[in-house]
Structure 1
Amino acid sequence: MTPLRSLLLCLILVLPVTPAFAQGTNVAFGTIRQDTNQPVEVTADNLAVDQDSGTAVFTGNVMIGQGEMRLSAARVLVVYRAENKGIARLEATGGVTLVSGPDAAEAERADYNIDDGTIVMTGNVLLAQGASALSADRMSVRLSDGTAQMSGRVKTILQTGNDN
């Protein structure tokens, strides 16, 4: 369990507030709209390229940046468009963290569809927004407008505003 996840789970458990459960909720994600036409910068410890399948696998401390957005993971599969005309999608696995502005999300997996401008995070998703935290099975982020949809046993803590 990462330090961020540990801290947020502790906050969820100890704050004297009312829990809310839902099957889906919309939230803002990040402070800016992401331009999916910007270049994608990838750094990693290792790279394996398969020309026949049009894929590349980055492993070990993978860091991906596009504009103000950052994604890190243990492994990222890059799938290229036909005839090497850019990246079609990224599939990140293993301790995935997505950061945009002050917001951060963790999950077991993230799939970034470049053409759609969406990132779908699955598996124990935890979203931190300032003092607030939300957890769910799945979070879909639409980068064009900076919104996210959380679904699958969504849990959050709502601050009541009372000091007692």
Structure 2
Amino acid sequence: MMRTVMTVAMLGFAVAANAQSTEVAFGTGQQDTSLPVEVSADTLSVSQNDGSALFTGNVVIGQGEMRLSAPRVLVFYTEGQSGVERLEATGGVTLVNGDQAAEADTAEYEVNRGTIRMLGNVLLTQGANTLVSDSMDVDLENGTALMNGRVRTVFQSGDN
């Protein structure tokens, strides 16, 4: 939380939003969620019991233009293990799509739905502007995000 408060304070002109949720554009537009999901990590542990795989250490997940990174990502495969159903990232997550980036404590990517839910100390950066909230729901197919909880923002004027 301190990182978020300091970031907002350092960026200057702060505006507190009284809304409990705010919808914003996110990414470069529509994300093709049918593209392959690529994962790289330092280690991999597979569980045949529940059809999951645990990637740890410098985990980077890529799908098209989107990149998600975290120290730990648990992957759940579809029945029959023919594809990825869900990814749970923990330990501090960064999501980058185009020139926009978001940070949070955790994230869950529902691959078939094309949605990502980021939770805990969410910080969204769009150019020089920032938004802070408790959680953020990203709809990759529509290129939008819904900021939930107490939403705070910083707008940079055209003179800065």
- Asked if these proteins are the same fold (TM beyond 0.5), I'd say yes
Separation in 1, partners of 2:33, 2:144: 15
State how 1:118-157 maps to structure 2 within 5 Å.
118-157=115-154
1:46 aligned partner: 43
Whether 1:34 aligns to 2:28 is no
Identical residues among aligned pairs (%): 58
Kindly provide the CA deviation profile for residues 48-86 of structure 1, in whole angstroms up to 9, marking residues without a partner as x.
001121000000000000000000001000000111120
1:38 Cα deviation after fit: 0.4
| Closer/same/farther in 2, CA of residues 53 and 154 from structure 1, 3 Å limit | same
1:159 Cα deviation after fit? 4.8
CA RMSD of superposed structures (Å)? 1.9
Pairing of 1:8-157 with structure 2 (within 5 A):
9-10=5-6, 12-14=8-10, 15-157=12-154
Q: What count of residue pairs does the alignment treat as equivalent?
A: 158
Cα pair distance change 1:79/1:155, threshold 3 Å? same
**How far apart, CA to CA, are the structure 2 residues paired with 1:118 and 1:98?**
12
Distance 1:131 1:123 in 2: 22
Partner amino acid, structure 1, of 2:148: S
Amino acid at match of 1:54: G
Once the 2 structures are TM-superposed, how far is the Cα of residue 11 of structure 1 from its aligned partner? 5.0
Unmatched 5+ stretches in structure 1:
none
The separation in 1 between residues aligned to 2:83 and 2:139, in whole angstroms, is: 20
